[in-house]
């Protein structure tokens, strides 16, 4: 029987509580993931750890480190067992365990709060409330997009950025290949963001121009300054969805959708991306090429000409991104709207579709039917990221996608989610500053989830292991939340729902 609680349904549980918990990076962090940061409505903040010097007054209290303020993950008292060996929870017990939280008035209209809970291994429904109702999912839409993307792009696929000779002897052309995470300097083979480096691309180019490359293809450097041009024909498309409001770009809640970009130009709230990220790549490349001893035309204000390189143009240099599975995992973990839109475009085109918004969203929807066997009746998908108005998806569909990523039936999706695509509660990605209250403790380090936040909307969808050791899938959305602090309070209620599932000894 579920314990009785004395906490009033409308009592502040998050917004008015002191926020002292900070992120700790675990080994399970998505490969190459950057410090947690905010995306559209999904705030993940970081603070530099304070330190105490020897000169500090004796009475000064040392500042707590992030690791010290996070609740500790309890060591197992017995060897961990397979989740398949644990008992399947009782449906009535599961529903009762989360009933108080689902009745919280912080979640807005009573008919606009939806939940679907599934056994991750069998797909059996263990708890539903309005799970088939069409609701606004916000960024949990990205789970459907990711499920489609892995069908169009192999997990080991890498996005290649090349430099080729231009139409004139003094021209070199940077050819976009889908990598928007280039480092300014040398690439880091252990990273996802910054795996490939612009400086490496420039060094290879300089070697080719100076006759130090492959003897069969190398030529002498041009007599005059080298002009740098851009070929942006790879999966060409608009920098922004027509259905996005200006605020999302202007205030940095999303970056621009590009097939060539610098990792450092990814947008952050109130730190928007440049108006032309591709031109910034050209600028950094020119500077790196000059540092290699090549006479380069133009300066920091020079705009590279956009051309289409000849099919038989001689390749001077190339660098490759991290594996597509890891790039997608990073995009999910940080809820990077532009990255998900860009990957969806590439995957749709690779699958024979067009790159325009309507074609990509129709392809995502149809992939859910053809490859995942989902009932998409009435479902509307306006974009791949969930940032546009008009997307309507039942939480039951979101839960079914997560089951597909957990039960072994779709290993490519499972790889992405396991690689960090679902952040860890209280530690990584968009969950770094979530699950910070004591009542959330059972979920910390246990639950994983994709967040979803828009004005009036809060969603959470992921996996959690119960007290009995069974893996569950959950998807929860409230899309009629009051304005103001209610959004933060509602997010905390969703965290508490997940904590209750983790706390649950639900075998009946």
In the numeric block, the tokens 């909307």 are attached to: 457
Region of poorest pLDDT, from 1-5, 11-15, 315-319, 500-504:
1-5
Reported as a pLDDT band with limits 50, 70 and 90, residue 457 is very high
Average pLDDT of the chain, as a whole number: 86
Query: Among candidates 507, 505, 496, 506, which has minimal Cα distance to 441?
Result: 496
Residue 439 contacts residue 502 (beta carbons within 8 Å) = no
Interval 101-125: pLDDT, tens: 999 999 999 999 999 999 999 999 9
Domains of the chain listed by start with CATH number: 77-137+392-503 (3.40.710.10), 158-324 (no CATH)
Interval 342-373: pLDDT, tens: 999 999 999 999 999 999 999 999 999 999 99
pTM of the predicted structure, to 2 decimals: 0.85
Interval 167-207: pLDDT, tens: 999 999 999 999 999 999 999 999 999 999 999 999 999 99
Q: Choose between 7 and 316: higher pLDDT.
A: 316
- Once rounded to an integer, what is the mean pLDDT over residues 422-450? 95
Residue 337 contacts residue 245 (beta carbons within 8 Å) = no
Interval 374-415: pLDDT, tens: 999 999 999 999 999 999 999 999 999 999 999 999 999 999
What is the reported pLDDT for 60? Answer: 45
Query: For the chain, what percent of residues have pLDDT higher than 90?
Result: 77
Query: Among candidates 41, 128, 140, which has minimal Cα distance to 401?
Result: 140
Reported as a pLDDT band with limits 50, 70 and 90, residue 84 is confident
- Whole-number Å distance between alpha carbons of 22 and 436: 8
- Once rounded to an integer, what is the mean pLDDT over residues 67-76? 53
Residue 463 contacts residue 80 (beta carbons within 8 Å) = no
- Whole-number Å distance between alpha carbons of 89 and 181: 43
- Whole-number Å distance between alpha carbons of 332 and 410: 17
Q: In what order do the strands lie in the sheet with 158-165?
A: 227-231, 171-175, 158-165, 315-323
What is the reported pLDDT for 223? Answer: 72
Q: How many other CB atoms are found less than 10 A from the CB of residue 54?
A: 4
- Whole-number Å distance between alpha carbons of 100 and 98: 6
The answer to whether residue 298 scores a pLDDT higher than 70 is yes
- Whole-number Å distance between alpha carbons of 273 and 197: 19
Reported as a pLDDT band with limits 50, 70 and 90, residue 58 is very low
What is the reported pLDDT for 76? Answer: 52
DSSP single-letter state for residue 259: S
What is the reported pLDDT for 300? Answer: 81
Sign of the dihedral defined by the CA atoms of residues 431, 432, 436, 441, in that order: positive
Residue 389 contacts residue 243 (beta carbons within 8 Å) = yes
Region of poorest pLDDT, from 34-48, 151-165, 405-419, 420-434:
34-48
DSSP 147-177: HHHHHHS-TT-EEEEEEEE-SSTTEEEEE--
What is the reported pLDDT for 410? Answer: 97
Q: How far apart are the first and last CA of the chain?
A: 9
What is the reported pLDDT for 211? Answer: 83
DSSP single-letter state for residue 419: I
């Amino acid at each position: 029987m579920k314990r009785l609680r004395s906490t009033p349904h409308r009592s502040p549980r998050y917004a008015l509580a002191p926020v002292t918990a900070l992120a700790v990076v675990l080994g399970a962090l998505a490969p190459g993931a950057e410090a947690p940061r905010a995306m559209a409505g999904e705030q993940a903040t970081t603070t530099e750890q304070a330190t105490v010097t020897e000169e500090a007054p004796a009475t000064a209290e040392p500042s707590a480190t992030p690791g010290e303020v996070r609740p500790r993950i309890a060591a197992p008292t017995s060897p961990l067992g397979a989740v398949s060996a644990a008992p399947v929870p009782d449906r009535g017990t599961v529903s009762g365990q989360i009933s108080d939280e689902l009745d919280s008035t912080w979640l807005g209209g009573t008919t606009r709060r939806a939940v679907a809970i599934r056994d991750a291994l069998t797909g059996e429904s263990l708890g539903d409330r309005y799970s088939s109702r069409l609701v606004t999912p916000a960024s949990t839409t990205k789970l459907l997009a990711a499920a489609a993307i892995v069908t169009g792009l192999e997990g080991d696929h890498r996005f290649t950025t090349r430099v080729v000779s231009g139409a004139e002897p003094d021209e070199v052309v940077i050819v976009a290949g889908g990598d928007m995470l280039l480092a300014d300097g040398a690439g880091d083979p252990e990273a996802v963001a910054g795996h490939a480096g612009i400086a490496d691309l420039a060094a290879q180019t300089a070697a080719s121009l100076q006759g130090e490359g492959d003897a069969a293809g190398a030529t002498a450097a041009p007599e005059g300054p080298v002009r740098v041009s851009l070929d942006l024909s790879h999966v060409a498309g608009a920098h922004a969805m027509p259905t996005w409001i200006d605020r999302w770009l202007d205030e940095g809640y999303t970056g621009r959708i590009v097939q060539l970009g610098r990792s450092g130009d990814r947008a952050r709230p109130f730190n928007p991306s440049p108006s032309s990220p591709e031109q910034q790549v050209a600028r950094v490349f020119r500077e790196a090429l000059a540092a290699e001893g090549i006479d380069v035309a133009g300066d920091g204000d020079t705009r590279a000409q956009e051309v289409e390189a000849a099919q038989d143009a001689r390749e001077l240099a190339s660098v490759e991104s991290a594996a597509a599975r890891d790039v997608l995992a990073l995009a999910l973990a940080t809820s990077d709207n532009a990255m998900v839109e860009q990957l969806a475009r590439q995957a749709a085109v690779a699958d024979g579709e067009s790159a325009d918004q309507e074609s990509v969203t129709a392809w995502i929807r149809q992939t859910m039917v053809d490859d995942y066997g989902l009932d998409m009746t009435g479902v509307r998908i306006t974009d791949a990221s969930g940032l546009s108005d008009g997307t309507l998806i039942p939480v039951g569909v979101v839960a079914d996608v997560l089951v597909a990523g957990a039960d072994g039936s779709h290993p490519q999706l499972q790889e992405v989610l396991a690689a960090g695509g679902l952040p860890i509660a209280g530690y990584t990605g968009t969950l770094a500053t979530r699950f910070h209250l004591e009542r959330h403790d059972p979920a910390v380090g246990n639950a994983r989830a994709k967040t979803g936040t828009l004005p009036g909307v809060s969603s959470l969808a992921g996996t959690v292991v119960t007290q009995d050791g069974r893996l569950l899938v959950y998807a929860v959305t409230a899309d009629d939340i009051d304005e103001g602090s209610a959004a933060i309070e509602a997010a905390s209620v969703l965290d508490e729902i997940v904590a209750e599932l983790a706390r649950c000894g639900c075998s009946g």
